[in-house]
Structure 1
Amino acid sequence: MMNDEGFGIRKIVYYSEEILLENGSAPAVPAVRATAAAVVANPWLGGKASDDLSSEVVQLAPVLARKLTDVLSAELGGVDAIQAFGKAAIVGTGGEIEHGAALIHTPFFGNLVREYFEGESIICFADDRADAGSTLVVPLWHKNAAATRTHYQTITTRIGDAPGPGEIVVVLGASTGPRPHSRIGDRLTDPVVKADILGELIS
């Protein structure tokens, strides 16, 4: 198996945050949100818009899925501690937005992330093409109960020197719990809401 240099991985960056106070009080359920991001050389740089991307996807996406899930699992206390997840990619300005999509939107990444995190939900996502140091908001939701609004949250990722024009930043986000003071219910217990039953409220 090739080493990280052989896969074009320049570095892996971990970031985490724990909200200790929200609106002046501690969350009832403390949670840590985190991202693990890999800065990789864009393997399709200089190619044509019609190029087949699949060969490089098969080689690189599973490696990124394994490395990033390993980092988050180790830092957040194991797979059982992780309740929510999300994914993202930022493509450097020399590449196509499709190059980031190729690495995070195929079974060679998403299916493996679900397996490694023991999740069932579709993984929510964000992607962009941007200069080095640009921020990207990574959405998260519950790994097994996507309708559970308590775990709808985001974490912002930024790497000062990446992506370079010929790089892609692939990000995996996770949380060990819900938003602070979550209290808006979930989609499975919502009342039926349609314009014609709200009457004067929206007229």
Structure 2
Amino acid sequence: MPDFPLRKTMILVEDIHHDGGPPPELPRRRAAILALVKNPFAGSHATDLQSAMEDLKPLGLMMTDRLIEAMGGCEGIDGYGKAGLVGEAGELEHTALWHVPGGYAMRARLGEAKAIVPSSMKMGGVGTRIDIPLGHINAAYVRSHFDGMEVGVPDGPRADELLFALAMARGPRIHHRMGGLAAEDVTGTDGLR
């Protein structure tokens, strides 16, 4: 059973009050939580990685709970995404360990979330930043919720570490006006529309 000792977490919260047009009735909130963990696969090649996803599920749930708290509760959260960043002694495939623990933790806590959790993966050294893509939690085709949040930790990931990140949003982009499927028209049966 691989061990992923946690070195640190960081939470970022932003409230967007204005984006060049009139201020919205309520600001849009986006938040992300990042965790730096030791990569037990750094420096070697392991053929079985998939079973290690189970070992990361408690981290995914803890991060999700803290992120929901930072968002001020579940109500109104309608966007999410995840990302993984591996230090240079690892391999890109190690970031894929985050697919199940990160994605399914948010779905479990947010209830009826149907859409795939958008994801980005990358390799980089200390201070590398990564964009977490965001999409609507119930329908991938809701254009007003296509977004991203750039994150990073100044002292990570070290060569033998992984950075795992989750992000959530409440509301569409400020001043969205690109048409497409409206959030209020989502049927939420297949995760697409």
Does the alignment reach a TM-score above 0.5?
yes
Task: Give CA deviations for 1:119-151 in whole Å, capped at 9, x if unaligned.
Answer: 111000111000111111111011012211111
Q: Report the secondary structure of 2:54's partner residue.
A: helix
Is contact 1:69-1:117 (8 Å) kept? no
Greater Rg over alpha carbons, structure: 1
Q: 1:167 aligns with which of 161, 164, 167?
A: 161
Residue 137 (1) aligns with residue 136 (2): no
Give aligned-pair identity as a percent: 33
Task: Give CA deviations for 1:74-116 in whole Å, capped at 9, x if unaligned.
Answer: 01121223110000001001100000112x223x442232121
Q: Report the secondary structure of 2:10's partner residue.
A: strand
Residue 184 (1) aligns with residue 181 (2): no
Residue 117 (1) aligns with residue 110 (2): yes
Partner of 1:8 in structure 2?
A: 5
Residue 96 (1) aligns with residue 91 (2): yes
Residue 27 (1) aligns with residue 24 (2): yes
Is contact 2:14-2:31 (8 Å) kept? yes
Partner of 1:17 in structure 2?
A: 14
Partner of 1:150 in structure 2?
A: 144
**Would the alpha carbon gap of residues 28 and 151 (structure 1) be closer, same or farther in structure 2, given more than 3 Å must change?**
farther
Q: TM-score, normalised to structure 1's length?
A: 0.82
Q: 1:51 aligns with which of 47, 67, 75?
A: 47
Unaligned stretches of 5+ residues in structure 1: 1-5, 189-203
Looking at secondary structure, tell me which structure has more strand per residue. 2
Q: How many residues align?
A: 179
Letter in 2 for 1:177: G
Is contact 2:133-2:148 (8 Å) kept? yes
Q: TM-score, normalised to structure 2's length?
A: 0.86
- TM superposition shift of 1:187: 4.5
Letter in 2 for 1:37: L
Note the aligned Cα RMSD (angstroms). Answer: 1.7
Whole-Å separation in 2 of the counterparts to 1:57 and 1:130 = 21
Whole-Å separation in 2 of the counterparts to 1:31 and 1:101 = 29
